[in-house]
Structure 1
Amino acid sequence: MDTGSTMGTVRGRAVLLLLWAGLSQGLNILPGPASVERADGDSVMLQCQFTVDSKDIGPLDIEWSRTPADPSASQIIIIDYSGDRIYDTHLEDMKGRVHFSSPDPKSGDASINITRLKITDSGMYHCKVKKSPGSKTRATKLDVLVRPSVPTCYVDGIHEIGKDATLKCSSEGTPPISYSWTRQGSSMVLPPTATSDKMSGTLRVKNATVSYSGDYKCVAANKVGSSECVVRFSVSSSSSNAGKIAGAIIGVLLALLLIAILLWCFLRRKKKKAYEKEQPYEIREDVPAPKSRVSTARSYTVDSQRSSLGSMSPSNMEPYKSHYDRLAMDDQERPPTHSPNLSPSFKVAAPSLNRMGAVPVMIPAQHRDGSIV
């Protein structure tokens, strides 16, 4: 090696050290990770350590701001320190979740902690330290990722000997998500005819045999977490499979028959209730009263007059003797058809009845329906 070239290299390094020493004088923020990835719900610390020089005599101000994922949006102050006092965030979605890591930030540690991370916390965070006459700023990118959800596992295809089947697994979360299949039990080795796809989450099994039956586990993972599920893969002969299908068909038919019977009973009962509700109450008429014999107006008049006259004494009957005789003669001359119930040979004149000591009786008149007037 040439001695001249070696001396030149040493001199170059010395110059760089002198330049770094000159630049490091005054306020300076120590380097740290440029980006951080965390899962939602976790906590994260964004580092910001700094040093000051004796020449920096101004007040210390520390300000943390966030730039949203949208580059056109402006920075938002989330927490700051000024005049030996901490001012908490005014953002509603970050209240109670962000604070300084050190109880005394002026000691040189301006790092912050963010708890219970959300997807909306993703963005670029800026730590700005000011101490007159110097000022420094450092940026850290925070990505909040979503863990894979519990996968959905199932078997697609015919579970018969000699047939092909596909085991599928799917999950939701921040991509990319990779899938891996293993077989449970004493042997975790997959069947020799099985092939898996880590990106789609499928496991294809060709020419299945009974020995391939068992529990298979799928694990979905990304940068911040993983989840798993287990599915049962049972390979059977066609005869037993046909018996299962027949049993399922019979069960469905019986269920449909039971539903039909219940529906028929319900409709019949509903129809019966509607009929009973619409059926009017039956009103029965009483048997009409027997008809009485028809009395003529003349017989009523005669009988009434006779009753009235019968109440008189024999001494008072003389003035009416001629009237009685005339009535008696009219009764004798009346044809038998006018009095069907009494024969003319049995009629007795009123004077004769009076002389015989008979007492006249007043008979009430009646309507045709039998009621008494």
Structure 2
Amino acid sequence: MDDFTPKQMQHMVAKIRRHFNTAYITAVILFGFLVSFNEDVAMAMVVTSSGPQTLQKAHGDAVTLGCTYSPGPLDMGDLDIEWSVISPDTTQKDQLVPVWQVISYTGGRKYVHSNPALMTGLDFAAGNPANGDASLSISAVSAANSGIYQCKVKKAPGADMRKISLVVMERPSAPRCWVEGGEAVGGPQSLHCRSAHGTPPLAYQWKREIGGPIPSAATQESLTGELKISNHSESFVGIYTCQVSNVVGKEHCKINLRALKPPSKAGIVGGTVVGVLLLVIILLIVVWLVVYRRQPRYDKEVSNEIREDVPPPESRPTSRVSSHHRGVAYSPVGGASQLPSSSSTSFSATKYEYDSRFGYAV
């Protein structure tokens, strides 16, 4: 490469200086613009809360939606605070999203708006929201409080806002634990755990409190709450705890798993024989009681029938010697009856009839 002449060197240095001056002036102008912009921003209203944008709470919990703010020195207008619930559809533009006002503060006064279902236990967290804290508190949330809340703070000319999503869920109810399979050694077993209520997804987990961890041969399903044992043995014996949980709460139940040895075949046969013998004896006793209770009644009926069919006895032959029997006079055949004289003991004649039940006259 040929060497530059002094004249060419002077021309190149002058050109570099011109480019440097232009770049310097541009940088100074840009820096001044950025400083001026940041000063304007720093002097405007700013919502300073920095908590989570999504809150998940259980039914009945208390919650505070943070919205602290700091006005700028140029914000001289009236303070205006507004809490509202907006549509959860994030695909729509803000100006087209339906908005329901909940509570507001303007002109030094608090105003409560419509929708009583949202207003139960709802108020500003601070006594006076004009002191830099416009947070919203709800004493006991319910399903009606779920939604996207927007806090907007304005003090002309400054204004700022913040959105918080509140999700109200239901804790799992106390689960029920039970075992299927009879707990017999050598057979399949399954432990079940089920919670009747709770916002899904619900996660189930089995643990053994006594006897160490659950043997690796057992498998459990976290979504259904089932613990499967393909071949039950004494190594699985112990107290098991099932815990069901979701993002807002958890509950548990316990069960004692035993290992029962199956009965021997000789015992089963012996028990069957004894049972059959006892059944035969009971049947014989029942038959004997039925026959025994019916026999006296049968004899009495037969006796009564014989007595009723007995013919009346023949007339008694009269004695040649008259006699007196219960006021009845008997005299020889063909003789005339003699009535007692007036000096004899008086009696009255009585008429008797034959009674077949007894076989003689009464």
TM-score (norm 1): 0.57
After superposition, give the CA deviation of every residue in 1:98-156 in whole Å (9 maximum; x if it has no partner): 11111111111100111211112111001011212232221111111211111122112
- After TM superposition, the structure 1 = structure 2 runs for residues 132-143 of structure 1, keeping only pairs within 5 Å, are 132-143=156-167
- Identify the residue that residue 198 of structure 2 maps to in structure 1: 173
- Identify the residue that residue 30 of structure 1 maps to in structure 2: 48
- Identify the residue that residue 118 of structure 1 maps to in structure 2: 142
Secondary structure at the aligned position of 1:120 is classed as helix
* Farther-moved stretch of structure 1 (208-217 vs 226-235): 208-217
Give the one of 170, 194, 197 matched to 1:146. 170
- Identify the residue that residue 119 of structure 2 maps to in structure 1: 95
Q: Report the identity percentage.
A: 32
More helix by share: 1
Asked whether the 8 Å contact 1:69–1:122 carries over to 2, the reply is no
Residue 20 to residue 147, structure 1, CA distance change in 2 (3 Å): farther
Per-residue deviation at 1:18? 6.0
Matching of residue 84 in structure 1 with residue 120 in structure 2: no
Asked whether the 8 Å contact 1:29–1:137 carries over to 2, the reply is yes
- Identify the residue that residue 55 of structure 1 maps to in structure 2: 74
Secondary structure at the aligned position of 2:130 is classed as helix
- Identify the residue that residue 230 of structure 1 maps to in structure 2: 254
Secondary structure at the aligned position of 2:254 is classed as strand
Per-residue deviation at 1:214? 2.8
Whichever of the two has the greater Rg, that structure is: 1
* RMSD between superposed Cα atoms in Å: 3.2
Asked whether the 8 Å contact 1:29–1:136 carries over to 2, the reply is yes
- Identify the residue that residue 63 of structure 2 maps to in structure 1: 44
Give the aligned residue type for 2:68: Q
Write the distance in 2 (CA, Å) between the matches of 1:179 and 1:13. Answer: 59
Secondary structure at the aligned position of 1:53 is classed as coil
Asked whether the 8 Å contact 1:59–1:83 carries over to 2, the reply is yes
Gaps of 5+ in 1: 1-6, 251-373
Per-residue deviation at 1:70? 6.7
Secondary structure at the aligned position of 1:238 is classed as coil
Residue 189 to residue 104, structure 1, CA distance change in 2 (3 Å): same
Write the distance in 2 (CA, Å) between the matches of 1:205 and 1:18. Answer: 73
Write the distance in 2 (CA, Å) between the matches of 1:17 and 1:207. Answer: 76
After superposition, give the CA deviation of every residue in 1:248-272 in whole Å (9 maximum; x if it has no partner): xx9xxxxxxxxxxxxxxxxxxxxxx
* Farther-moved stretch of structure 1 (32-41 vs 187-196): 187-196
Write the distance in 2 (CA, Å) between the matches of 1:14 and 1:42. Answer: 51
- Identify the residue that residue 275 of structure 1 maps to in structure 2: none
Per-residue deviation at 1:68? 4.9
TM-score (norm 2): 0.58
Give the aligned residue type for 1:53: G
Give the aligned residue type for 1:176: P
Asked whether the 8 Å contact 1:191–1:205 carries over to 2, the reply is no
Write the distance in 1 (CA, Å) between the matches of 2:64 and 2:41. Answer: 28
Write the distance in 1 (CA, Å) between the matches of 2:122 and 2:68. Answer: 17
Write the distance in 1 (CA, Å) between the matches of 2:33 and 2:209. Answer: 64
Secondary structure at the aligned position of 2:184 is classed as coil
Secondary structure at the aligned position of 1:37 is classed as strand
Secondary structure at the aligned position of 1:176 is classed as coil
Write the distance in 2 (CA, Å) between the matches of 1:168 and 1:15. Answer: 69
Write the distance in 2 (CA, Å) between the matches of 1:230 and 1:240. Answer: 31
- After TM superposition, the structure 1 = structure 2 runs for residues 1-373 of structure 1, keeping only pairs within 5 Å, are 19-32=37-50, 33-69=52-88, 74-171=98-195, 172-185=197-210, 187-239=211-263
